[in-house]
Amino acid sequence: MSDLKIVHRAEEPEAEQYKARTRQKLERSLVASVLAHPAQYPHVAAKVRLDYFADGLSRRIFETQGELYQANVEPDAANVRASGKLSQDENSQLVDLCLEEDGYNLPMLTLRLCELEADTRSTTAQKAADREHDIFKKFSMLRDGLTAAESVLQGAIRKSKSERINDVLLRASERASGKRKPFATGFRTIDGMLSGGLAEGGLSFVGGFAGEGKTSFALAIAIYTARQGVKVEFLEGEMTEDELHERAAEMHHRHELVKWLNEYEQIPLDIIPLAEKTPARLLAAVEYAVVNGARFVVVDYLQSFAQMQSETDRHYLAIKNLSAQLRALALRHAEKGTMLHIMALSNLNRTEAGSGRPGLSSLYGSSGLAHDCTEAFMLYSDSSEGARTQEALTGHRAVTVELVKARNGQRGPVPFTFTGASQTFTEAV
């Protein structure tokens, strides 16, 4: 041991310092979990070693910092030197930059984990399913293709029964006090039917035929939610970022894009176009959004991320597998106490829905989604020639938003008027 003395942290750190230390410990725990199981997480372990531990000195610094954390010691460069764990030559090589927190940034690490392992597991499950002829076994294989990244993020330590009871009581108390409440949509009748709004920890679907206004409907809810101070992320897989901003400007600022962008800069809403349309990329983007504080996430739309195959049954299974993973993600964060809701859009076609208006059976028929959702909306309008002529003359279209599934609340139709020029939905009087 050198003459340097280890400096201990204060016994009662401030709240922000405590949060920072907790976050750093989680980051290190995440990395250590991956490195401790290289056979279980081969792709992630290799990537972490390459990106974070390119040389032996970096690894020894990491391990020494871990020991200092356990001893409640500040893991800075001076204390690493004073620990006596490094040789004289290694001490001379040690620079403060090796210990920067950004080197183990949790959001970026989470993104890497999800992308690498989710893609690997999804690909492995899909290849196994390709070799299987029984449709039910195919489905089972795809459902069992859960990612190793999810296991790492959940952690190896399961909460005790008493801890879970305390969590339930805490959430009940927060709901009673108004600290936790449903996510209001901004549409009075819908919020009334849902006893205040969309459920936290839930997954809702907005379904409809192409061109019925699903994106505008979801964007209106996203903007309303962000205006209430909730952080929202809108993950777009079809339209460009410019198109979405122009649509938002039409909705709220009479086509004045600059005014909308000024508001967009101020509210907690992020519109994120995803060029890479794979299930792994989408799941990683949702996880990344939540890690960064998003509490309401919109996915537009499921089919664009489901990696469609030529065979109908495989398309069905890919969408079903993706919806199940989104639901699992929402539930996992709910168990942690995080207020989160995911809204996913789903396109229908008239062959699947039949000649009548779409309903809950349309979700089953199109992609088997209805088991996974807490709420489901169907958008439909009159497609007769007279209705189309009327819309061409007035710019208005009568649209019904039918709440076909509601775990907490009522079901039924809500009449709206959709105005194409402003992309707005207003409740019909």
382-414 per-position pLDDT tens digit: 877 777 777 878 888 999 999 999 988 889 999
Residue 209, beta-bridge partner list: 348
pLDDT interval class at 96 (50, 70, 90) = very low
* Cβ-Cβ contacts under 8 Å for 165 (sequence gap 6 or more): none
pLDDT value at 348 more than 90: no
Same domain, 97 and 223: no
Q: Which of these, 182, 218, 232, 201, lies nearest to 329 by C-alpha position?
A: 201
Domain boundary among 82, 104, 126: 104
Same domain, 85 and 229: no
CATH of the domain at 280: 3.40.50.300
Domain boundary among 56, 80, 104: 104
Span of 8-12, 253-257, 274-278 with lowest mean pLDDT: 8-12
- Phi, psi for residue 381 in degrees, rounded to 5: -140, 170
Same domain, 417 and 273: yes
**Rounded-to-integer distance, Cα 138 and Cα 129, Å:** 5
pLDDT value at 141 more than 80: no
Residue 10 lies in a domain: no
SS3 content of the chain, % helix, strand, coil (to 5): 55, 15, 30
pTM: 0.67
Question: Within a 13 Å sphere around the CA of 368, how many CA atoms are in the beta-carbon half?
Answer: 14
Q: Please write down the long-range contacts of 43-48, taking CB distance under 8 Å and 24 or more positions apart.
A: 43/116, 43/117, 43/120, 44/112, 44/113, 44/116, 44/117, 44/148, 44/149, 44/152, 47/112, 47/116, 48/109, 48/112
Q: Which of these, 35, 6, 24, 29, lies nearest to 99 by C-alpha position?
A: 24
Same domain, 399 and 289: yes
Same domain, 48 and 197: no
Residue 115 lies in a domain: no
Same domain, 97 and 187: no
pLDDT value at 187 more than 90: yes
Same domain, 84 and 212: no
Compare 66 and 376 and report the one with higher pLDDT: 376
Residue 134 lies in a domain: no
Mean pLDDT across the chain, nearest whole number? 77
Longest CA–CA span in the chain (Å) reads 90
pLDDT interval class at 357 (50, 70, 90) = confident
pLDDT interval class at 154 (50, 70, 90) = very low
Query: Of all residues in the chain, what percent carry a pLDDT higher than 90?
Result: 29
**Rounded-to-integer distance, Cα 182 and Cα 194, Å:** 9
pLDDT interval class at 99 (50, 70, 90) = very low
Same domain, 187 and 94: no
Q: Which of these, 373, 282, 289, 296, lies nearest to 340 by C-alpha position?
A: 296
pLDDT of residue 63: 74
pLDDT value at 152 more than 50: no
Same domain, 192 and 309: yes
Domain boundary among 104, 136, 166: 104
Same domain, 196 and 63: no
Residue 123 lies in a domain: no
Domains held by the chain: number: 2
| pLDDT, tens digit, 9 for 90 and up, residues 171-186 | 888 888 888 889 999 9
Same domain, 210 and 345: yes
Expressed as residue numbers, the domain containing 284 is 181-427
DSSP-based three-state secondary structure for 383 = coil
Residue 356 lies in a domain: yes
pLDDT of residue 39: 59
Same domain, 224 and 371: yes
| pLDDT, tens digit, 9 for 90 and up, residues 198-229 | 998 899 999 988 889 999 999 999 999 999 99
pLDDT of residue 359: 77
Residue 255 lies in a domain: yes
